[in-house]
Amino acid sequence: MPKSAQPWVATLVRTIFDQPTAEAVRTQHTWVIDALEAKYPAAAEHLEAAREDLLAFAAFPREVWKQIWSNNPQERLNKEIRRRTDVVGIFPDRAAIVRLVGAVSAEQTDEWTEARRYMGLDVLAKVRLRMICGDTPGQNALPQTLTA
């Protein structure tokens, strides 16, 4: 698509994520594809092919959608790795880099485990319960005896 149309298409695609329910998200995705079909068939085809990957977040409770969309934890980890490797400067071999990155990753894991969590335990428990009970779109529910 031409560069001049990219802001409009990006705005259109963002409307998919502004919907209040999983069903509305799927409906909006279909509407966006229909809107793009006539003018930008390649973009519409690309969005259609990526449907399940793009809408995977909708299977989870609404309160965790923003955490699922965000890549802040990865960015924070990458920034810390970059900061530590810049301090060292030159590494003697690949194993030294792997040890440093492993140590930074382990430290980050400890920090997330003990100090702060990106998603609270209550939210994670709710997500887990929802996935086990099968009340997400496209899943079969467990027998009534297991969910009671």
Within a domain: 86: yes
Question: Using one digit for the tens of pLDDT, what is the confidence trace for 50-81?
Answer: 999 999 888 888 888 887 877 788 888 899 99
Residue type, position 54, single letter: L
Per-chain mean pLDDT for the chain: 82
With tokens 């809107």, the residue in question is 35
When divided into structural domains, the chain yields a total of 2
Residues 46 and 86 occupy one common structural domain: no
Residue 122 resides in a domain:
no
Structural domain boundaries, residue 54: 3-59
- Alpha carbons 112 and 67: distance in angstroms, whole number: 14
pLDDT score, position 130? 60
Q: Do 20 and 42 belong to one domain?
A: yes
Domain contains 30: yes
Question: 97 in helix, strand or coil?
Answer: helix
Q: In this predicted model, what pLDDT tens digit does every residue of 113-147 receive, in sequence order?
A: 766 666 667 767 777 766 555 555 544 443 333 34
Are 79 and 53 in a shared domain? no
- Nearest-angstrom CA–CA distance, 22 and 138: 12
CA atoms within 13 A on the CB side of 64: 20
Percent of the chain predicted with pLDDT > 90: 49
Average pLDDT over residues 89-114: 88
In percent, the amount of the chain with pLDDT more than 70 equals 78
Q: What is the pTM of this model?
A: 0.60
CB 147 within 8 A of CB 141: yes
Q: How far is CA 45 from CA 13, 30, 31, 59, 65, in A?
A: 13, 11, 13, 23, 25
Considering only residues 114 and 44, tell me which one the structure prediction assigns the higher pLDDT: 44
Do 87 and 104 share a domain, yes or no? yes
Tell me the residue type at 97: I
Question: What number is the average pLDDT over the span 2-8?
Answer: 90
